[in-house]
Amino acid sequence: MSFLKKSPWIIHYDGTSCNGCDIEVLACLTPLYDVERFGVVNTGNPKHADILLITGSVNEQNKDVVWQIFNQMPNPKVVVAVGICATSGGIFAECYNVMGGVDKIIPVDVYVPGCAARPESIIDGVVKAVEILEEKRAAMTKKRKMAKVRRVSGPVSLSNMF
């Protein structure tokens, strides 16, 4: 059962990026690189995703968002920090509004350096992430017969439906 390796679905979140890395992430989907060859789909939905690609550093404004997205992803999941800002804060690390790399908020599995990270290195990072994903899945099934359904309780009222 190594189908995770064959269809890693991605969600991409832009933290405080300058958009350089975002453009390179999207470049991976273009005909030149075409990551869909490997079954990679850019889902844009945390509940469908296996890999969280984060570009840019985290700050006080978006730390909750990053935490939310990470929590909404079903297990097993991995996080890839794309670009030097996401790995350590980069040249913005000293700024008063920047908290630093993504690993300040959520556990990061793969760091992809570069400013901006090149599509080749992003794909390389995703390939590494897929291996870690597979390890996590194996560990999960070993540990217990996975509770396949996770119940999350959210605020349920009609007023927050729309």
Q: Where along the sequence are the contacts to another protein (CB under 8 A)? A: 1, 3-4, 6-7, 9, 29-31, 34, 36-39, 41-45, 47-48, 50, 72, 74-76, 137, 141, 146-154, 156, 161-162
Residue found under tokens 């190594």: 2
Question: Which residues, other chains included, contact 43 with Cβ-Cβ below 8 Å and sequence gap of 6+?
Answer: 9, 10, 11, 49
Least Å from the CB of residue 15 to another protein? 18
For another protein, the closer CB: 96 or 158: 158
* Smallest distance from another protein to CB 99, Å: 26
To another protein, the closest distance from the beta carbon of 152 in angstroms equals: 6
Contacts of 5 (CB under 8 A, 6+ apart): 130, 131, 133, 134
Q: Which is nearer to another protein, 42 or 92 (CB)?
A: 42
Q: Which is nearer to another protein, 94 or 149 (CB)?
A: 149
Name the pairing type of β-strands 78-82 and 51-55: parallel
Give whichever of 71 and 97 is closer to another protein, judged by the CB atom.
Answer: 71
Buried b / exposed e along 83-108 (16+ C-beta atoms within 10 A):
bbbbbbbbebeeeeebbbbbbbbbeb
Nearer to another protein, 76 or 100 (CB): 76
Report the nearest approach of another protein to the CB of residue 158 (Å). 9
- Token pair, residue 128, equals 């590494």
Q: How far is the CB of 97 from another protein (least distance, A)?
A: 27
* Torsion sign (Cα): 129, 133, 67, 88: negative
